[in-house]
Structure 1
Amino acid sequence: MNSELSHAEYEALRATIRERGTRRVTLLVATLVAWAVTFVLTLRGGGPLAAFGGLMVLVAGFEAVYALHVGVERIGRYLQVFYEEAGHLPAWERTAMAFGREPSGDGLDPLFSPIFAAGLLINLVPVGLAGQPVFILAAVAAHAGFALRIVRARLYAASQRAKDLERFRRLKDSG
C-alpha cells in the first residue's frame, strides 16, 4: 500500500475513534434529557403506559452508545494489527489494550451501564403506581429484558478486544 495513503488512512481512523468517543458522551446526555422529559410527562398524567416511552428512549440511547463503542474498539484493533504491529507507528492501541486488561477500580464504564441501569429502575416508578397487575407484570418483563441486554452487552464488550484482535490477525495472515 502507498505510504502516503496508508498514513492518511491511519489518521482518518484515529480521528474516527476520537469523534465517536466524544459522540458517545453527547449521546448519553441527549438520551438522559429525552428520558427525563418523558419521565416527567409520565408522572404528570401520561398514564402508566407512557413508561414504555421512557423505556424506549433508554433502549435506543443505550443501543446507539453500544454501537459506537463496538465500532471504536473494532477500528482500534484494525489499527493495532495492520499498522502498529508492523512497528511503524506509535503503539497507542496496543498500550491501551494492555492497560485495559487490569481492573483500574476507577468505575469507568464505556457503555455507561450503571447510568442506564439507574434510569431503568427509576423508570419503573410510574409502573408501580399503575396498580394493574397485568400491566405491572408486562412492564417489569420489558424492563427486565433491557436489564438483560445491558448485562449481555457488557459481557461482549469485555471480551471484544481480544476476539477482534484475533479475527484481524487471521485476516491479515490469510492475505
Structure 2
Amino acid sequence: MTPRELEEYRSLRATIHERGTTRVWTFVAGLSAWALLVVATAAVNASPAAALLPLLVLAAVFEAVFALHTGVERIGRYLQVFYEDSFAERRWEHTIMAFGRTFPGGGSDPLFASFFWMATAANLVPAILAAPRIEEWVLTGAAHALFLARVTVARGQSARQRPTDLERFERLKRDLAVDHDEVNTGANTGATELTERAEPVRPGS
C-alpha cells in the first residue's frame, strides 16, 4: 500500500468501529426516549391518534440504526474488494463473510428487528386504553402496520446487502481497471504519433 492508501484504510476501519458503536447507542437511547413517550401518552389518556407521535420516534430510531448498519457494511465491502489482497494471510472482511455463510444465524440481529416489532405492539397500548373509534383504529393500525412492513423489508435488504455490494464493487473495480488501461493506451498512442510527426533536429541548426 502507498502511504495515502494506508491512511485511507486506517480511516475507514476506524469509521466502521465508530459507526458500529454509534448504532448500538442510538438504539438504546432512542428506545428509551420512545418508552418515555409511550408512558406519558398513556398517563394523560390522550386520544388514540397520539400514539402516532411515539411511533414516529420509533421509526426515526430504526431508520438511523438501519442507515448506520448499511454504511458500515458498504465500507466493509469496499475494503474487501479494493484493499484485501486475495493472497493475504489475514483478511478480516473475507473471513467474516465466509463465517456468516458457514455458520448462519450465529450472531445477533444488527437491526434489532425483534425489539422494534415488540415496541410497535406495545405502542398500541395507549391507543387501546383510549377506546378508539373505528376510524381511529384504521388510522392508527395502518400506520403501525406500515412500520412493521418497513422493518421486515429492511431486514431482508440487510440480509442481501453483503453479496449485493460485493458484486457491485467487484464490477466497479473491473470497470475502473478497463478505464485506466484505455487512458494509458490513449496516452501512449498520442505520444507515439507526436514522436513520428516530429522532424529530426539537424546538426548545427
TM-score bracket, shorter-length normalisation: over 0.9
Distance 2:156 2:82 in 1: 26
Identity %: 51
Structure 2 residue ranges without an equivalent (≥5): 177-205
Q: Secondary structure at the match of 2:111?
A: coil
Larger radius of gyration: 2
* Amino acid in the other structure paired with 1:141: A
* Amino acid in the other structure paired with 2:152: V
Q: After superposition, what is the alpha-carbon deviation per residue over 1:101-160, rounded to whole angstroms, capped at 9, x for unaligned? A: 245444610000011111101001112223211111111110000000001001000000
Q: TM-score, normalised by structure 1?
A: 0.94
Distance 2:171 2:106 in 1: 33
Q: TM-score, normalised by structure 2?
A: 0.80
Q: CA deviation at 1:100?
A: 1.4
Tell me if the contact between 2:45 and 2:126 (Cα under 8 Å) persists in the aligned partners: no
1:7-156 to structure 2, matched below 5 A, reads: 7-45=6-44, 47=46, 48-87=48-87, 90-106=90-106, 108-131=108-131, 132-156=133-157
Distance 2:170 2:152 in 1: 28
Tell me if the contact between 2:45 and 2:130 (Cα under 8 Å) persists in the aligned partners: no
* Amino acid in the other structure paired with 1:67: A
| Higher percent of residues as helix | 1
* Amino acid in the other structure paired with 1:137: V
Distance 1:17 1:5 in 2: 19
Q: CA RMSD in A?
A: 1.6
Distance 2:90 2:102 in 1: 21
Distance 1:103 1:140 in 2: 38
